[in-house]
Amino acid sequence: MGPRFEDREEAGRYLARLLHNYAGDPSVIVLGLPRGGVPVAYEIARALDAPLDVFLVRKLGVPGYEELAMGAIASGGVRVLNSEVVRKLNIPYRAIDSVEREELAELERREGLYRGGRSLISVENRKVILVDDGLATGASMRAAVQALRQMKPAAIIIAVPVGSRDTCEDLRGLADEVVCAETPAPFYAVGTWYSNFQQTTDEEVRELLELAAAVGSR
**Rounded Cα gap, residues 144 and 130, in angstroms:** 8
pTM summary value? 0.91
Query: Which domains are seen in the chain, by residue range?
Result: 8-56+124-216 (3.40.50.2020), 58-115 (3.30.1310)
In 3D space, the residue among 182, 208, 211, 210 whose CA is nearest the CA of residue 1 turns out to be 182
What's the pLDDT band for 213 if we cut at 50, 70, 90? confident
For residue range 119-158, list pLDDT tens digits in order: 888 999 999 999 999 998 888 899 899 999 999 999 999 9
Mean pLDDT of 107-116: 90
Mean pLDDT of 69-77: 88
Q: Where are the beta strands (DSSP E) in the chain?
A: 28-32, 52-54, 57-62, 65-74, 78-81, 127-131, 155-162, 177-182
If you count them, how many residues does the chain have? Answer: 218
Give the confidence band of 218 by pLDDT, cuts at 50, 70, 90.
Answer: very low
Q: Does 29 score more than 90 pLDDT?
A: yes
Residue 67's pLDDT is what? 82
pLDDT digits (tens, 9 = 90+) for 53-62: 999 999 899 9
- Note the maximum CA span of the chain: 53
Determine contact, residues 193/10, Cβ cutoff 8 Å: no
Mean pLDDT of all residues belonging to the chain: 92
Q: How confident is the model at residue 1 (pLDDT cuts 50, 70, 90)?
A: low
pLDDT at 216 (0 to 100): 65
Query: How confident is the model at residue 2, as a pLDDT?
Result: 64
Determine the pLDDT at residue 214: 84
